[in-house]
Amino acid sequence: MKTKGELTNTDKAKFAEVAVKAYAEKTGLASPDEDEETKVSDLVADLMHYCDRTGVDWSTVMYRAHRHYGEEVKEQSKARRKS
Cα gap 64→57, rounded to integer Å: 11
Would you list the domain boundaries of the chain? 21-82
pLDDT tens sequence across 11-69: 999 999 999 999 999 999 999 999 999 999 999 999 999 999 999 999 999 999 999 99
Nearest residue to 58 via CA among 45, 50, 73, 48: 48
Q: How far apart are CA 12 and CA 49, in angstroms?
A: 23
The model's pTM is 0.85
d(CA 69, CA 75): 10
List all residues 6 or more positions away from 51 whose beta carbon is below 8 Å from its beta carbon: 57, 58, 61
